[in-house]
Amino acid sequence: MPELRSRTTPLRARSVTTTPPLHPQTPQNRADAGAGTPRDTMLVSETFTSIQGEGRLTGVPSFFIRLSGCNLRCAWCDTPYASWNPEGQTRTVAELVAEFAAARARHVVITGGEPMIFPQVEPLARALKDAGAHITIETAGTVFRDLPCDLMSISPKLSGSAPQPGDPRDPTGVWRQRHEERRIDTQALTRLIERYPQRQLKFVICTQADMDEIEGLLARLPAIAPDEVLLMPEGVAEPSPEQRALVTQACIRHNWRYCHRLHITLYGNRRGT
């Protein structure tokens, strides 16, 4: 989740495999919990090699594996093909590890969608670690799993992320309700923070009110260093001066970190970057 990494044709990506929809009639929640999928296979919307654009490892060449399916439905989700309408092809652990090896990257980013809802992420992470990968997992932090991970990149979703009433993608409002019920799980967040000492908490910022919400959430979680908290302006383009000011001022006030989106600067809003 990687929430604000956007994708189409990369300018410098070394390899890209963007899988076409396998099941165009896929129900919205088909991949919600990875149910019915054999233990070593999973729905993958795309794999690609690019530059990590967000967080502590910004700038590091990485092989990305985007699992398709999410238990949330953020209004501003920039990977709807892995959440609102999960699409892709079923891939095996062995296939994905072979593709990682062929990419000749040292770092791998397992993202989504929400990769942690899939039990298959555990054998995948173990096999990638056996292959020598440095593993980053990008998650919204609603599900805990104990698996090999060198950087747990957690992006809790604030209240402004919920689909709004009248969103045509959610005509009955069922996803707004599910999203609200699921988006913050302090028990899962606590376990993730305690289990993974190499972690970062990334927040997408829409308004000033988000800062109070972050402070309230952090007060309910195990203590983390201020520079483990990263703030990103919401959007799929370069932030406006007003957005930058909102985020930078909050970072200075709290000793949090401003999170640039290098991939947007390098490639623009393109899939596969």
Q: Which residues form the interface with ligand SF4 (CB under 6 A)?
A: 1, 3, 70, 72-74, 77, 79, 82-83, 112-114, 140
Name which of 77 and 259 has its Cβ closer to ligand SF4. 77
Contact 78, 97 (CB under 8 A): no
Q: Which amino acid is at 165?
A: P
Name which of 50 and 155 has its Cβ closer to ligand SF4. 155
Question: Cα–Cα distances in Å, from 226 out to 46, 59, 209, 217, 259?
Answer: 33, 22, 19, 13, 13
Find, among 202, 174, 2, the residue nearest to 82 by Cα. Answer: 2
The residues with which 49 forms a beta bridge, in sequence order, are: 63
- Rounded to whole angstroms, the Cα distance separating 183 from 162 reads 9
Name which of 6 and 50 has its Cβ closer to ligand SF4. 6
Smallest distance from ligand SF4 to CB 112, Å: 5
Smallest distance from ligand SF4 to CB 1, Å: 4
CA dihedral 248, 253, 254, 256 (to 10 degrees): 20
Smallest distance from ligand SF4 to CB 106, Å: 25
The length of the chain, given as a count of residues: 273
Helical packing angle, 241-254 and 209-219, nearest 10°: 30
Name which of 127 and 259 has its Cβ closer to ligand SF4. 259
Smallest distance from ligand SF4 to CB 101, Å: 27
Q: Which amino acid is at 129?
A: K
Name which of 10 and 115 has its Cβ closer to ligand SF4. 115
- Rounded to whole angstroms, the Cα distance separating 51 from 67 reads 18
Smallest distance from ligand SF4 to CB 80, Å: 7
Smallest distance from ligand SF4 to CB 82, Å: 6
Name which of 119 and 160 has its Cβ closer to ligand SF4. 160
